[in-house]
Structure formats: structure tokens, C-alpha cells
Amino acid sequence: MTADNSELPGPRLTPDPDPDPDPDPDSDPATAPPRWRELLGPEHRGAALVLAAGVLVGAVNIYLASSLLPTAVAEIGGESLYAWNMTLYLVAMVIATMLVSRCLARAGGAGAYLTGFAVFLVGSLACAVSPTMPVLLLGRCLQGLGAGLLSGLGFAVIRSALPRRLWTRGNALMSAMYGVGNFAGPALGGLFAQFGSWRGAFVLMAAVAAVCGAAVPRVLPRGERGGVAAPVPVVSLVLVTAATTAVSVSGVLPDTRARAAGIAAALLLVAGFAAHERRSERRVFPGATYQEGSALKWVYLTLGLLAFGVAVESFVPLFGQRLAGLPPLAAGFLGAALSLGWSLTQIGSSSAVREHTVRRLRILGPVVLALGLLVLGLLQRAPASLWWVVSWVPVLGVAGAGIGMAYPHLSVAAMTAAKDPEEGRQAAAAIATVTTMSTVFGTAVAGVLVSLGGRSMLDSARWLLLGFAALCALGAFTARAADRPGHHPG
């Protein structure tokens, strides 16, 4: 197992002055782009797969239960509590991601991972045996806590589980799991629901957690302990939990004004959170986030805007069914095209090592995402022929490619922006917090934009896609701000 490399200097967000600023990285074996077979070779394969699996189980379970719930309600009742399934899971997930660095300090890398898989396993089994909807929701809370811990740990433990030169590859593999989960969750849930075995899906997830947990002591380092853990930032946790709850609830409200009010309240709570964190010693985000001239806040904002754009996936199947008459299964796979583009693009994007190429990818990613959503919005029509809808697929893939080309490099920039090793782990764990919260906010905002179309599904599609294109385009400016002279990591 590799030694802890957390104190090695990371890539700068602004290039150093150099008479030859674009050397050929392949000319020096030490700086040549690492190959995937190096990450997945015998030395690092176990650690890489466990890190990726931790992120994957959380991503799959975001949408897994949504596909199973109609079948579950028919058996155990609780239709009035239906909407709380997603809300409680995501709120618990956000809370857990904010406690990652403290869990690492107390239990170490392997111990924290065992805790995450154990909590997720218990939650999955509780869902599988639940006789009533309240018990199922309790299981979903436990699943969310375990999934949030595992998602944050993936980005934090990579610092000691893999050598520095494999961080970008490792981040690409883990962040690709969000895309894979967005595809696999609904598909897996739909498959089990089709055969009336909704409990079996949760048993399967428990089995996956058990297998991964058994592998943890053999493949992950134990040396992540950081002495006495910092006190829990109670006020920050309360504010973020309230914001996440407000925006999650607003996503299921029927009235557009009520949804908008819920989102506005959530934004005010987030602003209060940022103001409190800036002056408090008990923080969720590392202190570097709030320092004058630090690029870390711009990196997080760019990551958030990229994850925000994924929310359109929830409504693309609806547009396919209503505008083109696609059957539910075909429409569901249509919605997964964005995640597929995201996951596949990261395979190539993570090969980039030249500083100017990495900077361009971080800026180009949000631009490509926004352009893809813009073109998709312009392609909406009613009624739409089958071949016209088929043209949506490559456009969705291009939009997803925008996320894939920038996400792994932004993740590494966040991981290396803090000089202190403890702050570095905290900065890495916050990647999962930002991603999860952005997914929650994106889904709620998407619901508001769709409702603006009224009874016209065509207008709803245009409101959503064109509105998200404008919002995601802001990521190009935040990415540019991270590279602006005077902004530096840490």
C-alpha cells in the first residue's frame, strides 16, 4: 500500500512562469499520463474498486427506490408518505458527507469505510423487511447516512490510498459512478419492480455492501487518523439540513409559487450557512474556501453547476413520452444518455496532464454542457417523430461530455487547494457535499421551470432546457475566476 501523499504539492490553478510552459509530458516517464491499467493493476485495483463502489451504491440508491416505491406502496401502504422517500434519503446523505473528515479523524480510512458500509447494509436490510412505510423511510435514512459517508470518503481517502499521479484517474473513476448510478438505479429498480420483487432489490444492495465491507481491511490503509476529531459544526449542519429539506420539499409541491418560495428560503439558508462558516472555527468546508484570493470557492461553485445540470435527466423521459409517444422503457434509456456521455468522456479527459489543457477543460466543460442543453431545447417540438427524438441522444451525450471533461480535474483542484493535510481531506470530502446538494437544488429548480409551461409539455421542455442552459453557462465564469491571476489554492 502506498504511503500518505497528502503533503505533496498539488497542481496550481494558475501556471508558474516558465520559458517552456507546454512541455511534452510523454517525454518524461515521471510526468507521462498514467494508464488505466496502472490504476486497475494488481497494486491499486482493490483500493480503486472499493472507492468506486462506495460512490456507486449511493448514486444507485438515489433513484432505485423511486422505481420500486409504486410496487412497495401497493403492498405495505403509506401513499401519503411517498414523497418523503427521496427527501429523507438526500437530506441524510448531505448530513453524512459533512461529517466525513471527523469520521476519518476518529476511525481512520479503513474504519470509516467499514462504518459507512455497515450503516448502509443495516439500512438496506431495514428497507427489505419493512412492514410499513415509516419503517421503510427509516431504512432510507440509514441508507442515506451510509451512502453519504461512502461518497465523501471516496474523495478523501484517495489521498492515501493512491499515489498522487493517479488522483485524476481515481477521481474520474469515482465521479463516473454518479453517471453510472443515474443509469443503473432506475433500470435496476424497474427490473425488480417488473417481477414484483421490490424487497429483493434492497437485499441485493445489502449484499453488495457486505462484499465491499469485507474487502476494506485488505485493500485500504488504516493510517488516516488525525488525532482528536474537531467538534461537530452543529450550526452549519442545522442550516444545511434545513436548506436541503426546504428545497427537497419544494420539489414536490404542486403550486409554482410555493415551489419558488421554498427554493428562495433554501437559498437564504445557504447564504446564512456561508456567513456563519466564514466567521466560525467549526466549519464544514475548509478555511481556505473563505480566504481572500483562494480559488477553492470558485472550484466548488463550478463543480456544483456541473452537478446541477444533471437534474434535466429526471424530466427527459417525460418529454419523450409526452412529445413523441415513447414507451416508458425507451424513454427511461433516453434520459440516461447524459449520464452515459458523462461517464465515457472521463475515460479520455483524465489523461490530460498539461497545465494549459487542464485549465481549458475546466472552463470548456460548463460551456459544452450549456450548449448541449441549449441545442436540446431548440430541438423540442410537438409532436416529435421517432427519428427526431433519436437526434436528442447524441445531443444529450454531448451535454454529459461537458461534465465528464471538467469534473475529475476540478475534483483534483479541490483536493490539492489546501496545504494542510487535514484541510486537504476536508476539502476532498466536501466534493461529495457539493455534488449531492447541487443535485437536490437542481431537481427542485427543474420542477419549478417545468411547471412554468402549464399544460403545454412543449413549453415546459423549453423552459427547463433553455433555463438550465443559461444557469450552467455560469460555470464557465466561475471556472475562469478560479484561474484568474491573484487567485491561488490555499
pLDDT digits 0-9 by tens, 230-265 = 677 888 889 988 888 888 788 777 788 888 888 899
Average pLDDT over residues 365-377: 96
Per residue in 391-413, pLDDT tens?
A: 999 999 999 999 999 998 998 88
Which grid coordinates are listed for 473? 453557462
CB-based burial label for 474 (10 Å; 0-12, 13-18, 19+): middle
CB within 8 Å of 51: residues ≥ 6 apart: 153, 154, 157, 158, 161, 170, 173, 174
Contact 472, 366 (CB under 8 A): yes
Contact assessment for residue 297 and residue 487, using Cβ atoms and an 8 Å cutoff:
no
- pLDDT, tens only, 256-298: 888 888 889 999 999 999 899 888 878 888 888 888 878 899 9
3-state SS assignment for residue 379: coil
Which range, 207-211, 308-312, 337-341, 385-389, has the best average confidence (pLDDT)? Answer: 207-211
Count CB neighbours of 131 within 10 A. 10
Specify the DSSP element, H or E, that contains 344: helix 337-349
78 residue type, one letter:
G
Q: How confident is the model at residue 142 (pLDDT cuts 50, 70, 90)?
A: very high
Q: What is the pTM of this model?
A: 0.81
Assess whether the previous peptide bond of 328 is cis (omega < 30° from 0): no
pLDDT, averaged across the chain: 83
- Alpha-helical segments (H) within 7-83: 36-39, 45-76
Determine contact, residues 117/214, Cβ cutoff 8 Å: no
Q: What is the pLDDT of residues 427-457, one digit of tens each?
A: 888 888 898 889 888 888 888 888 888 889 9
Distance, CA of 109 to CA of 212 (rounded, Å): 14
Distance of alpha carbon 78 from alpha carbon 64, whole angstroms? 18
Q: Collapse the DSSP code of 488 into the 3-class scheme (helix H, G, I; strand E, B; otherwise coil) and give the result.
A: strand
The answer to whether 117 and 209 have CB atoms below 8 angstroms apart is: yes
CB 126 within 8 A of CB 135: yes
Residue ranges in 83-132 assigned as alpha helix (H): 84-97, 100-129
Distance (Å) of CA 445 to CA 266, 270, 399, 439: 11, 15, 18, 10
Counted residue by residue, the chain has a size of 490
**Set of cell numbers at residue 239:** 442550516
Task: Write the pLDDT tens digit of every residue in 37-48.
Answer: 788 788 888 888
Q: What is the pLDDT of residues 83-124, one digit of tens each?
A: 788 888 888 998 898 888 888 888 888 899 999 999 999 999
Q: Which amino acid is at 434?
A: V
Q: Give the residue among 402, 303, 309, 305 at the shortest CA–CA distance from 361.
A: 402
Burial pattern 317-334, b for ≥16 Cβ within 10 A else e, equals: bbbbbbbbebeeeebbbb
Cell of 43: 497494486
Higher pLDDT, 157 or 303: 303
Task: Give the Cα separation of 311 and 369 in Å (integer).
Answer: 12
What letter would DSSP give residue 1? -
Residue 191 and residue 238: Cα distance in Å, rounded?
A: 37
Mean pLDDT, range 172-184, rounded to an integer: 81
Q: How far apart are CA 127 and CA 475, in angstroms?
A: 38
**What's the rounded Cα separation, in Å, for the pair 352 and 269?**
38
The secondary structure of residue 390, as a DSSP letter, is H
